[in-house]
A = this chain, B = another copy of it.
Amino acid sequence: MNLIVLNKNNFIKDNIVRIEGRQFEHVINVHKNEVGNILRVGLIDGKVGTGRILSVESDYLTMSIDLTEDPPNKLPLKLILAMPRPKVFKRLIEDCTTLGINEIHLIKTWKVEKSYWSTPWLNDDKILGQMLLGLEQGKDTILPKVYVHQRFKPFVEDKAPEIIEGTIPIIAHPRLDNEIKLGDFYNQAVTLAIGPEGGFTDYELEKFKSIGFEAVSLSDRILRVETAIKVIVGRLYY
């Protein structure tokens, strides 16, 4: 936890907050902080700054806070992601938040197992919990927007054209012979589509291409989805 992310419920007064639960445990029991220590704090969807511990009780602490700085910029990256296995999804939501990805569209493709949609990790409060962990790691306060699209064709035909507006739409797909390199799009606004394990079908690939997506092959090696996203973010924005 590199930043304590607060919400409105934490506030006792204008600039005094009360912190309990997981965050309290981490600040006091893991990091051994005490009265007077100054920590990084931020308000969800708001500014970041510092907090000074005023008191420590058995299961909560109070802090005076001073929030004046903007959170880090988001990446100009929208992600279209074939819904992964629940365990992978859980970690990915956290990691994408840490990286500063702004918009995530989870889609159904042929090789996405139907059972994936019934994972509890898709519940609003579970997603929020993972995103908070991601914000706290990345010192950010702005939640990414997550959308679920359970039908492929309506998504590509009706939604995707709007999503990609103002961005370069690319699709990561193994085993292609082409000349397009990720580096060609360095620091540009991109919409990135990533398939499931086993990849997009030819039909799906053609549908994406028909609305303007260009396919980019990463390397001879086939990367897991969660690895590929980070490698691509590194190549595009670091």
Contacts and interface: CB of A to CB of B under 8 A. Distances in A.
Nearest to A232: B234
Nearest to A233: B231
Q: Tell me which of A72, A100, A221 has the highest count of chain B C-beta atoms within 10 A of its own C-beta.
A: A221
A238 B238 contact: no
Contacts of A218: 238
Q: How many copies does the complex hold?
A: 2
A181 to B, nearest CB: 8
Interface in A116-133: none
A62 interface: no
Interface in A190-238: 218-224, 227, 230-235, 238
A234 B75 CA distance: 16
Contacts of A33: none
Contact of A219 (B72, B221, B222, B235): B72
A98 B224 contact: yes
Contact of A223 (B138, B183, B231, B232): B138
A103 interface: no
22 contacts: A2-B222, A95-B227, A98-B221, A98-B223, A99-B223, A99-B227, A100-B221, A137-B223, A138-B221, A138-B222, A139-B220, A182-B234, A183-B238, A218-B238, A227-B230, A230-B230, A230-B231, A231-B233, A232-B238, A234-B234, A234-B235, A235-B235
